[in-house]
Amino acid sequence: MNRLSQSTLGGVKPGVTVPSYDRARVESRIVHLGAGAFHRSHQAVYTDDVMAGGDTRWGIVTASLHSPAISQALTPQDGLYTLLVDDNGTTRARVIGSLKEVLCLGESRRRLQEQLCSPLTEIVSLTITEKGYCYEPSSATLDESHADIRADLTAPWNPNTAIGLLVAAIYERKKNGVKPFTILSCDNLPSNGLTLRRVLERYAELAQPMFSDAQLKRHLLDHYACPCTMVDRITPAVVPADLARAEQLVGAHDASPVVAEPFSQWVIEDAFSSNRPAWESVGATFTDDVGAFEEMKLRLLNGSHSALAYLGGLAGCKTVAAAMQDPGLARFVRALMGDAADTLAMPAGVGLDDYMRSLLRRFGNVSLNHLTAQIAMDGSQKLPQRILEPIRLRLARGLPIDHHALVVAAWIRYLMGRDEQHGVLAINDPMADVLAQALARASTQADDLVAAVLGFAQVFGRDLPGNPVFVRSVVHALQNLLSQGVRATLSALASARVQ
């Protein structure tokens, strides 16, 4: 079987959409940091659509900051890869052509830094996950004690974090009189552009003596825009069977396809400091107020996802769709969304009921192998914006918080590392070690376990651990999970709320 590449593109099976534009003419004006599956199911697809519309100025030089796997898989394929769109039993395959180069920082540092400093580069976009911002989730400020940040600050011209790479590039561009690019965060952070800007500002302040440039921070703030975005497309991690499916549908071997749901949404703040592709011509929304979209998505979609990941994972559900088939879990998710909705001002033109219905339909997509274990990763970075913020807002209004408190308790129960059938739950989290140590020091009593985890101010802030309603609710929920298990806890909660 041929390997997918520019020279074999003509031979793909009929019915598979392929880039209709001349890829040899594509210019590289976007650098993307974080070459993972989400970037390739989302921004790279919008950009492929723009280029299919005739504007081929927007090729992407994409880079992973850690693993060489994607660069090794896609470089022999000339950046081409397959997108499989799975919809309740049917699959559509499409070959995406917007990646011009696929780099890995460790192997191609010089090429990446050169492209970041190139006058052609108009946009640097990021999908580096929450933890890639090296920030403290509860305060959304740079974590100055972060080992990678400390290392970058000792030699800021040779950085390894996305934050360090951006500031080093801004320094070089300033020195060489090169115009600014726009920095586009595409991660599920609250006010992602503002958060990124705050983190960059502090890092630049700390780094500028090393660069001997006292104006670096000011220059960044005055000239580099960081628009906020809301990004949405469920993108399960690829498994070996997906490679076989892609090969069969496309008729060529692809070492790194991506899989996604049909739904896709991108809302972008219209505040660029550079030229940009007309992403609005291919379905993106430009607006002055992304905040309402972000909060809606973080609290309704991502909050429900985390609930399904921890409660479903504990109850033995391996995928989101399997969890949604459990009537107790499905009912709980609807109730949780209802509570989250009380904290939201929905964006103009978006109906709450329609949005919630579409989420339930998307979660129920049985073709997607979206593992609860994938969503359960990095809870310490995700819970603050998904679950703790709605808790704060509900507490301030005197509203019950039992549904959201149960998700916090389920995370703590999940961190104990065993599901209800005693199967191992892998804990994948930048704070995994410290959380495990804290839990190991606690007794097996719910109040002790809760106190151990609530001690981490970088997750819970200082307010929530001191709030008796919050602490009592989480302890109560954890007691129930420990003594009765997920399903009985959910049914008790459902009848309590009905009364």
* Binding stretches for ligand CS2 (CB under 6 A): 188, 232-234, 302, 305, 374-375, 382
Distance in Å, CB of 84 to ligand CS2, minimum: 16
Distance in Å, CB of 349 to ligand CS2, minimum: 20
Q: How far apart are CA 443 and CA 438, in angstroms?
A: 10
Three-class SS state of 61: strand
Distance in Å, CB of 28 to ligand CS2, minimum: 26
For the sheet with 59-64, list strands across it: 99-104, 59-64, 28-33, 123-126, 182-185
Residue number, 326 or 429, with CB nearest to ligand CS2: 429
Distance in Å, CB of 333 to ligand CS2, minimum: 13
Distance in Å, CB of 241 to ligand CS2, minimum: 20
Distance in Å, CB of 383 to ligand CS2, minimum: 10
Beta strands in 115-180 (DSSP E): 123-126, 135-136, 141-142
Three-class SS state of 28: strand
Q: How far apart are CA 137 and CA 196, in angstroms?
A: 12
Residue number, 130 or 148, with CB nearest to ligand CS2: 130
Residue number, 74 or 234, with CB nearest to ligand CS2: 234
Helices and strands counted in the chain (H then E): 24, 13
Residue number, 356 or 375, with CB nearest to ligand CS2: 375
Distance in Å, CB of 302 to ligand CS2, minimum: 4
Task: Give Cβ neighbours of residue 293 (< 8 Å, ≥ 6 apart).
Answer: 230, 267, 285, 287, 347, 350
Residue number, 234 or 405, with CB nearest to ligand CS2: 234
Residue number, 66 or 219, with CB nearest to ligand CS2: 66
Residue number, 17 or 374, with CB nearest to ligand CS2: 374
Residue number, 180 or 193, with CB nearest to ligand CS2: 193
Is 258 in contact with 94 (CB distance < 8 Å)?
A: no
Q: How far apart are CA 67 and CA 107, in angstroms?
A: 10
DSSP structural state of residue 179: P
C-beta neighbour count of 43 within 10 angstroms: 28
141 closest CA partner among 198, 226, 218, 220: 198
Residue number, 73 or 237, with CB nearest to ligand CS2: 237
Q: How far apart are CA 432 and CA 6, in angstroms?
A: 43
DSSP structural state of residue 129: T
* Ramachandran angles phi, psi of 207, nearest 5°: -90, -20
Task: Measure CA 319 to chain center.
Answer: 18
Three-class SS state of 136: strand
Distance in Å, CB of 282 to ligand CS2, minimum: 18
Distance in Å, CB of 200 to ligand CS2, minimum: 23
Residue number, 56 or 229, with CB nearest to ligand CS2: 229
Q: CB-based burial of residue 498 (10 Å sphere; 0-12 exposed, 13-18 middle, 19+ buried)? A: exposed
Distance in Å, CB of 305 to ligand CS2, minimum: 4
Q: Which residue is nearest to ligand CS2 (CB)?
A: 305
Identity of residue 177: G
Q: How far apart are CA 325 and CA 310, in angstroms?
A: 15
Return the residue matching tokens 């049914």: 491
Distance in Å, CB of 373 to ligand CS2, minimum: 10
Residue number, 28 or 192, with CB nearest to ligand CS2: 192
Question: Taken in order 67, 25, 247, 85, is the CA torsion positive or negative?
Answer: positive
